[in-house]
Structure 1
Amino acid sequence: MAGLQPGTTTPTELTVHGQSRILEIAFSDGAAFNLPFELMRVYSPSAEVQGHGPGQEVLQTGKREVTVIELEPTGNYAIKPVFSDGQESGIFSSDYLDFLGSEPARLWADYTQRLEAAGMQRDAPMAAAGGHGCASH
């Protein structure tokens, strides 16, 4: 499996729960997580969310009701969710999915702190994206 570190666990089962907006994921090491779509969306590894370097992250808002409308496998090591708000460029590796599932309380707390620091509300609509000419998203 190209792209995996030695000892990396891999997803063995993925179940999309549209009504509850949860991705249920089981790993080869026996770990299992329920990842809220909102958490996946606000922590998407896409350049649209993460930027192209430190300090370029884009704080995501208005994602509480986002759903996954499609889940595309990417090789044997990752998935690419297509979200209902049109975001589809994030490739979630096995390691990243494991990280999201292992750290939800810390990630939610960090997200809440970043919203507060920015004076933003979780359900506020996203500001119009400023065209910066990046062809990656």
Structure 2
Amino acid sequence: MIPTGIKVRKTSRCLELTYGDESFQLPYEFLRVQSPSAEVRGHGVGNDVLQFGKKDVNLVRIDPAGNYALKLVFDDGHDSGLYDWVYLKHLCDNQQTLWDTYLQRLNDAGKSREAQQINFKAL
């Protein structure tokens, strides 16, 4: 299903997709950690790579990929995911479940949504 509207909401840091009279707001972080790219999903069942430290990631560009998808470019350099219309609708319809599962996986792995801080000590 192709969205009838696509808006980038910089202040709230989300991508708003409209389908008829229904509107969904997908935060940049959510889109980044749910990327359909092989870098995130892996090359087979069970080979996905848990994304962490993406809380403050920003969307810097959206490129159309033919008439079937969007290529989202993030400020952490990730740009290899093609979000086709079916996948975007899946993210909209299952956002809460996907997010809850992601947070549980982070917790189980002892990882954080926060970006890693590097502390340098003077020698």
> Which one of 70, 75, 91 corresponds to residue 79 of structure 1?
70
What TM-score do you get using the length of structure 2 for normalisation?
0.88
**Runs of 5+ unmatched residues, structure 2:** 117-123
> Which one of 85, 90, 101 corresponds to residue 92 of structure 2?
101
The amino acid that maps onto 1:95 is V
| Residue equivalent to 1:60 | 51
Moved segments of 4+, more than 4 Å: none
CA shift for structure 1 position 30: 3.9
Q: Aligned ranges for residues 4-83 of structure 1 at < 5 Å?
A: 9-27=1-19, 29-83=20-74
Q: Percentage identity across aligned positions?
A: 47
**Runs of 5+ unmatched residues, structure 1:** 1-8, 126-137
| Residue equivalent to 1:120 | 111
| SS of the residue 1:11 aligns to | coil
Residues 22, 110 of structure 1: alpha-carbon distance in 2 compared, 3 angstrom cutoff: same
What TM-score do you get using the length of structure 1 for normalisation?
0.79
Superposed CA deviations along residues 42-80 of structure 1, whole A, max 9, x for unmatched, are 000001111111121111111111111100011111100
| SS of the residue 1:106 aligns to | helix
- Aligned counterparts of 2:23 and 2:83: Cα–Cα separation in 1: 16
The amino acid that maps onto 1:87 is H
- Aligned counterparts of 1:96 and 1:111: Cα–Cα separation in 2: 17
- Aligned counterparts of 1:63 and 1:51: Cα–Cα separation in 2: 18
